[in-house]
Structures are given as C-alpha cells and as structure tokens.
Structure 1
Amino acid sequence: MPVVVNTPSRAKPPRHWIDLSVEERAQAVKDLSLPAFRARQISAHVFERWEVDPTQWTDLPKAARQEIADAWFPALLTEVSRQSCDRGTTVKTLWRLHGGALVESVLMYYPATRHSAARTTLCLSSQAGCGMACPFCATGQGGIQRNMSTAEIVSQVLAANRLIAAGEIPGASGRVHNIVFMGMGEPMANYRSVLTVIRTLTADGPDGMGMSARALTVSTVGLVPRIKALTEERIPVTLAVSLHAPDDELRDELIPVNRRWKVDELLDAAWHYAEKSKRRVSIEYALMKDINDQADRAAVLARQIRRRGDWTWAHVNLIPLNPTPGSRWTASRREDQDAFVETLERWKIPVTVRDTRGSEIDGACGQLAAVGRSEGLGS
C-alpha cells in the first residue's frame, strides 16, 4: 500500500460556524441582517456552552434561529455507536461523517493519584483513515479516505464535553483537560486544519475554548517538513513522535514514510522543536514481540537521544501493542518489556509504560471503524 502524504480532496463537508475566522463570523451575521454582537453570542454558545443547535438558543430572536442553523450549522458528526469499559471511564465513539466515512474518538478519565490531579483526556481523529500505510496499524491498513475539516475535529471535543457535563463519565467533571491528536489519521498530513483546530482550542472565549496549548499533544510518524513548520509557529503544544524503531532498517519496514525522511532527520527535527519550544518531546514506541523489543534496540534508542543532548529533551513513552485481530504483530512479553525499560533507565532516559485503555472495546485506533465498515455502517 503506497504512502499518501498529500490527501486528495473528496466528499468535503459543508462549511460550519467553527470553520470561520472571527472576521468571517462577523460577516456571516451581517449577511443575515443581524447586529454585530450576535457573532460573539453565537460563538459563546458553541465554544463556552458546547451547543450546536441554534434552534434551541432562546437568547436569539426566534425568527433568526432557523436561519442561523440553516446557514452555518450543518450536521457534521452522527453517532453510530458508543462502547465503554474500565467501569465506564473509557468511552469510544464511532462517528459517521458527511459522505459516509467513519472515524473514532476515545474519552478517558484518570482519577487523581499521589503524583497527579484527576484529568480527562480525549484522543481524537484528524483524518478519515490514514495514508501512512503502517503494517501494524488497523487504520493504516484501511487506507486514506479524506481529511477532516476544522469543524469536524473540534466537534469531537464539543461532544466529549457534553458527555462529561451530562454525567456520563463516572468521576469526571468540568470539561476535557487534555487533547491528544492520536486517533485515526496522521495529523501532520492534515496540517492546515489541525493548526486551525489548535488555534481555535487555545483562543480566548468566546472565539475559542480557552485551553492551554500545553494541554494539547500532536502526534506524527515523521513528516519532517511539517514538524519544522510547527516549530516556526511557536505554539507550545507537545510534539509526539511515533518512532517505534531507532534504526532505519527496521523503521523502513514498520513506518514506510521513513523511506522518505530517515530516523536521524526526524530526531534532529524533534530535537529542534524541543529546543525552540522548551517542551519535552514524547517518543512513542509500540513494543512488538520479537520485532523491536530487544534490549540492544533500547540501547540504540538511548544513544540516539543522548547524543542530541543530555537535558532530557525527550521522554520515551512505551506502548504495549493493542493487536489488530488476525495480525502477526503482537504485544511483547512482560520480561522483554521490563528489560527494555531497564536499559533505558540505565542510560538515564526518562521512560514510562503507557496505561493501556480500551482493549475490551477494539481499543487500537481504527478497529471500531473497521468493524463498522464490515457491518455496512459507513463507506
């Protein structure tokens, strides 16, 4: 399956209020013969109260509500199914987009511990499918359908906040605290929309959601030019690099885009991002049995990190693989995982093993959508 970096435009959704700039929103209310202050009022409903049905907004003139709905609030996400596990604290939703494509989002509540406050994290999708063709990934094996719009991506956040507000997530309160662009798709292959989403999430209300950029994590398999572009934006989001192998020979097999941008070039770009943003980069590494989980590969990874600086510019996040049904790629043995961790710790590389969630509900990205397509629920 070929790698697709520049996704073709197809089945684009209609423009939504969320897609508009502040200036375009002002013009939109003017075009509807409404006073200028209505633009901020509409945005407050969307970004501060997470509401997307203008017909229910009683602080707007009744005659204007349907006009606003028809002009700027098309239906973008239709819930197909929702599954939960971990006593209801992990919820995975399957959505149907305009044109029929299926995507997923996962909402996870983590109770407070001695070391961290309680938090709710949303893993959202940025593309319908993925063009990176990674062989161990359910989404990558399904191919790319299209990029998601800014409004479609943000709508996943609004839906998650409504779920929390409705008391559907045991223990959770308020709103989503952290957002990770680690669902379906390669965020950097949908760079323009993802960047606009980041700006919308971090903009002050009522024009945005007022989140801290430090609460956002953007993942990439290694689109080096886009990492460099994000560096120049000077927005302090966390960069997560899906590395999965420290050497080109193995990474060429696991991550086909590595044939275009090699490990050294990728890690140089990641180091530069850390140096400019003063934000530690997360090195994502899915441990696969007898593939990339050897202790000597951990030593290679440690050397790759240390030779670029010993100021803990990177943190290794080890991921026990959520295997795709029928796949030859399976999770590492516990003893191999432990040896990998111990090797990194000897090199004084910060490392954690990710708390895996969602294995009971087809937790690997793309599995729920793949099931949905097989059952005829989407295109």
Structure 2
Amino acid sequence: MTEKTSRHDAARRPRPAARSAAATAERPQVMPKAEGWTQPMGPDGRPTLQFKQPRVTQPPTHLADLTLAERQERMKELGLPAFRAKQLSVHYFEHYTTDPEQMTDLPKDRRAEIAEAFFPPLLTEVRRFETDKGDTVKFLWRLFDGALVESVLMRYPGRITLCVSSQAGCGMNCPFCATGQNGLTRNMSAAEIVEQVVVANQVIAAGGLGGTRGGGAHDAERVTNIVFMGMGEPLANYKRLMQAVHRMVDPSPEGLGMSARNITVSTVGLVPAIRKLTQEAVPVTFALSLHAPDDELRDELIPVNSRWKVDEAIDAAYDYFRQTGRRVSIEYALIKDMNDHMWRADLLAKKLNARGRGWVHVNPIPLNPTPGSIWTSSEPAVMREFVQRLQDAGIPTSLRDTRGKEIDGACGQLAAGEGDEA
C-alpha cells in the first residue's frame, strides 16, 4: 500500500461509536495556564525557550566521560601502563565501585592517586524517598556545583528501570511540568548521567530496592532499562546524551554493556535533533512527548511547538522508525477537559495512521499533579474511552503506569527543590 493510499483510507475511516455518556458529553475546553508559578515570557508574548545552557563550569573529567583509548592515554600520563585503564574500567562498569581499597589488582601505593585522577565526586545523595514497599525509590542528588537533580529507580517483574536526568532543570517551559518551573540551570555531563546508573546498581546490590530477589531467571539485580524521562530535555544536551548512551551500551570494559533497545530517549519535539538521532548507529527506543495532536493546543501546552509543529514532529518520529526499524512511542498526558476530548483521540489516530501501520505505540498517561496546580488527570471513564478510540482505529495503545506519584517521582513531577531536603 502506498503512503498516499494509506492517508486516503485513514481519512475515510468512520469515527468509532461512542461508549459512555461521561466520555461523550459536551465538555469545556480548558487552555493551558501556569498555575502556582509565573511562566517566563519573551517580548513576543510567547513562553521563553532555553536551548543553550548558561555559561557555567562543568564537572572535572571522570572515567565515564572518556573512551577506553582516552583512559589509556590518561593512565600513561600518570606514568602507568595502559592496561591499568582496562582494570580500572572493570571495577567501575562491572563492580560499580570507585573505592581504591577494593581495587586489589592495582599497585597498592598508587590506588588512591588513580582513583582521585579518574573518579572526581559527581553525585552526593541528599535524600532518598521510597514507595511501593520499597520497589520505587526516588533519589535527590547534589551535583559538584550545588545543583540538584533527581532520578527514580523502579522494580518491575523481570526488569529494573531507572529514570535518569540529563539536565539540571529544563528550558522547554511546559506549563504542566514541575521540572521546567525554574528554567535550565545547566547541562549534565556524560559521566553525571552514567553515574546515576552506577550508583543505582550499587543500591540494588546492597538490597536497597525492596531487597534482593535471589535466584529467579527474571529477577534482575542491576538496572536493565533506562528511560531519559527525568529532569531536562535530553535532545537539548545532545552531545553529552550520546556520550552517556555509548557508555551504557558499549561492552565492558568500555561501558556497562546494556541493550540499546532497553534505553528510551524522549523529547518534546526538537525536530533537527530527532533527525540527527535517526542517523546514529545506536537503535535506542525513541519516544515523542506529544500531548496534543492539534497545533492550536500544543502551541500553548508544549512551547517548542511554536518552532516545530505537530506534523513536523510526527514526520521526524516516523522517519526514525523507517530508518531504524524501531517502533516509536507517543507519550500523551491526559489532562481533564484540556486534551482528552474524543475528537483529539480521533485526530491523533488519523495522523498516525496516515503515515502507515505498525510503526507506533501510544502511551496515554494520567496527569501527575504538581505543586500549586489545579490541573488534574482525566476522569477514568474518559481515559478508557480515549484509549478505546485509539485501539479501535488500529493504534496499539496502553495506559501508562504512574509509579512513584506518592513521592513526587512520576512523570512531570521531578523538581529537585531545596524543600525536598527537609
């Protein structure tokens, strides 16, 4: 079937029948408005966007910032043979340690010096929050310059997922997301991103994620899945993002040896960066945070839509699928009376089907509340109908789990405020 025929058929497809009065009753249209904080606006009256970080000092170079060859060169600068870099890398990427006392295969009189040269302190744990009987843990980290970030560790049957941050703060200025309320502080280094994974593996090994499971073939005792859905817009920190991804997927001793397919990179729609990611030879899972299928609403809900419109973002996502063969995820936060109208479900299905079948999966997410906001998630009947509309149109759709909501650790809730230290 040609693309032209596919689009024609999609346009002729009848709208699915209504199922519930709650979902189909005429409802108001609420437009986005920042609640509980003042949204920064530019001279043009549009929300300001920060694509470049402020001029700030980056952390000292860490082992995880370097390729194995670069580590070998640094080791030789210390007057040590290059093979010591491989030994050191094994300690970090396989044993998850930076403690020189545990590195018994390194020269005893040089261990402290080596550790100091390759492992400058990156993350200091400020506080830890737990829920789901310990199976969900949110970490508040202080970076070397005092900036605060968060990451969330979640155990599921057969896998352990870590939601990592890629920036301190965020410059995308979306009014429903807690992270963006203070703007962008700075990009995180590749090593700061990777360190979140390594420390999480330390915590898991110590029984800090609901205890170890012991023995089962699917009882993972290390992080198996990464989602770049923590603080920040990952594609706005592209170079360091890709450095971190390489450290995650490269086999030991180069990196952690994780599967690229288990790493999800999300974006609100930075189209040029999506196209750049498409050309990378790393088949990560790609997720587009869409949240509205029409430009009128998305211009207000996702300010970057003023640069790259809905169809441009969806086209870039579709091209990612065509180039990589990797099915794309569409993230859609369901907000009561704002973006949960059934005509929007129909429009979303029409736009996705117009580009073909089997290339996309939609993840509606009940909106997670943020401090001071009166916005709330859609009514259960509305959410069910929204999902059903998409499924009836042939779009694979599943309502996303809202793990960590009780500890402000769910999607859109990460803010890393000083008040979290109390």
User: TM-score scaled to structure 1, two decimals?
Assistant: 0.94
Counterpart amino acid of residue 199 in structure 2? A
Structure showing greater Rg: 2
Q: Give deviations 1:188-211, integer Å, cap 9, x for gaps.
A: 000000101111111111111111
Q: Residue 115 of structure 1 corresponds to which residue in structure 2? A: none
Asked if residue 51 in structure 1 is aligned to residue 91 in structure 2, the reply is no
Greater shift, 19-28 or 191-200, is seen at 19-28
User: Partner residue of 1:185?
Assistant: 232
CA contact 2:278–2:320 (8 Å) conserved in 1:
yes
> Does the C-alpha gap of structure 1 residues 211 and 43 become closer, same or farther in structure 2, counting only changes over 3 Å?
same
Per-residue Cα deviation, 1:272-313 (whole angstroms, up to 9, x for no partner): 000111000000000001000111100000001000112x11
The residue number in structure 1 matching 2:288 is 241
Q: CA deviation at 1:55?
A: 4.2
Asked if structure 2 preserves the Cα contact closer than 8 Å seen for 1:45 and 1:52, the reply is yes
Root mean square deviation of aligned Cα: 1.4
Matched, 1:75 2:121: yes
Aligned partners of 1:12, 1:82: CA distance in 2, in Å?
25
One-letter identity of the residue aligned with 1:145: T
* Contact kept? 1:138, 1:364, Cα under 8 Å: no
Deviation for aligned residue 1:104: 0.5
1:69 & 1:234 partners in 2: Cα distance?
Answer: 32
Counterpart in 1 of 2:9? none
Q: Which of 312, 324, 341 is equivalent to 2:387?
A: 341
| Shift in alpha-carbon separation, 1:376–1:168, aligned structure 2, 3 A | closer
Partner of 1:292: 339
- 3-state SS of paired residue (2:110): helix
**1:1-20 alignment, distance < 5 Å:** 1=40, 2-20=48-66
Secondary structure of residue in 2 paired with 1:24 = helix
Q: 2:139 aligns with which of 83, 93, 100?
A: 93
Any idea what SS the aligned residue of 1:29 has?
Answer: helix
TM-fit CA distance, 1:324: 0.2
Contact 2:247/2:254 (CA < 8 Å) preserved in 1?
A: yes
Q: What is the alpha-carbon distance in structure 2 between the residues aligned to residue 143 and residue 46 of structure 1?
A: 33
Name the CA distance, whole Å, in 2 between partners of 1:105 and 1:270.
26
Contact 1:16-1:74 within 8 A present in 2 as well: yes
Name the residue aligned to 1:373.
418
Deviation at 1:24, TM superposition (A): 1.3
Q: 2:191, 2:383 → 1: CA distance?
A: 40
Distance 2:80 2:239 in 1: 30
**Offset at 1:215?**
0.7
Hey, what's the Cα distance between the residues in 2 that align with 1:338 and 1:12? 46
- Deviation string 1:41-98 (CA, Å, 9 cap, x unpaired) is 0000011111122343222112111111222211000000001101110000000001
8 Å CA contact retained: 1:227, 1:270: yes
Contact 1:11 1:98 in 2 (8 A): no
Q: Return the letter of the residue paired with 1:290.
A: D
- The C-alpha deviation readout for 1:143-171, integer Å capped at 9, x for no partner, is 10000001000000001111111122234
**Is the Cα contact below 8 Å between 2:291 and 2:333 reproduced in 1?**
yes
Q: Identity, % of aligned pairs?
A: 60
| Letter paired with 2:80 | L
Q: Does 1:34 align with 2:80?
A: yes
SS across alignment from 1:353 = coil
1:130 counterpart residue number: 170
Equivalent residue letter for 1:153: I
**Deviating more after overlay: 158-167 vs 243-252:** 158-167
TM-score (norm 2): 0.85
- C-alpha distance in 1 between matches for 2:57 and 2:185: 9
* Residue of structure 2 aligned with 1:165, choices 193, 205, 214: 205
Letter in 2 for 1:163: V
Contact 2:321 2:359 in 1 (8 A): yes
* Structure 2 residue identity aligned to 1:156: Q
**Partner of 2:161: helix, strand, or coil?**
strand
* Residue 329 of structure 1: aligned partner: 375
Q: Is the 8 A contact 1:55 1:65 kept in 2?
A: yes
Cα separation, 2, equivalents of 1:10 and 1:329: 34
Is 1:143 paired with 2:143? no
Conserved? CA contact 1:104–1:366, under 8 Å: no
Helix, strand or coil at the partner of 2:308: coil
1:319-348 Cα distance to aligned partner (Å, 9 max, x none): 111110210321111011011011101101
State whether residues 184 and 365 of structure 1, in contact with CA within 8 Å, keep that contact through their aligned partners in structure 2. no
Runs (4+) off by over 6 Å: none
Q: Unmatched 5+ residue regions in structure 1?
A: 112-117
Give the partner amino acid of 1:70: E
Give the CA deviation at 1:375.
6.3
**Cα–Cα, structure 1 residues 143 and 227, in superposed 2: closer, same or farther, change >3 Å?**
same
In the alignment, the residues of structure 1 paired with residue 409 and residue 237 of structure 2 have an alpha-carbon distance, to the nearest angstrom, of 23
Q: Is residue 228–residue 273 contact of structure 1 (8 Å, CA) maintained in 2?
A: yes
Q: Tell me, in whole angstroms, the C-alpha distance in 1 between the residues paired with 2:420 and 2:408.
A: 15
CA contact under 8 A between 1:213 and 1:237: conserved in structure 2?
yes
Partner residue, 1:358: 404
**How far, CA to CA, are the matches of 1:55 and 1:367 in structure 2?**
39
Distance across 1 between alignment mates of 2:421 and 2:133: 29
Q: Distance in 1 between matches of 2:79 and 2:279?
A: 40
The aligned amino acid for 2:141 is: W
Counterparts of 1:147 and 1:162 in 2: how far apart (Å)? Answer: 24
By how many angstroms is 1:366 displaced? 6.8
Is contact 1:287–1:332 with CA below 8 Å preserved after alignment?
A: yes
Q: Which residue of 1 aligns with 2:32?
A: none
Native 8 Å contact 1:284 1:319 kept in 2: yes
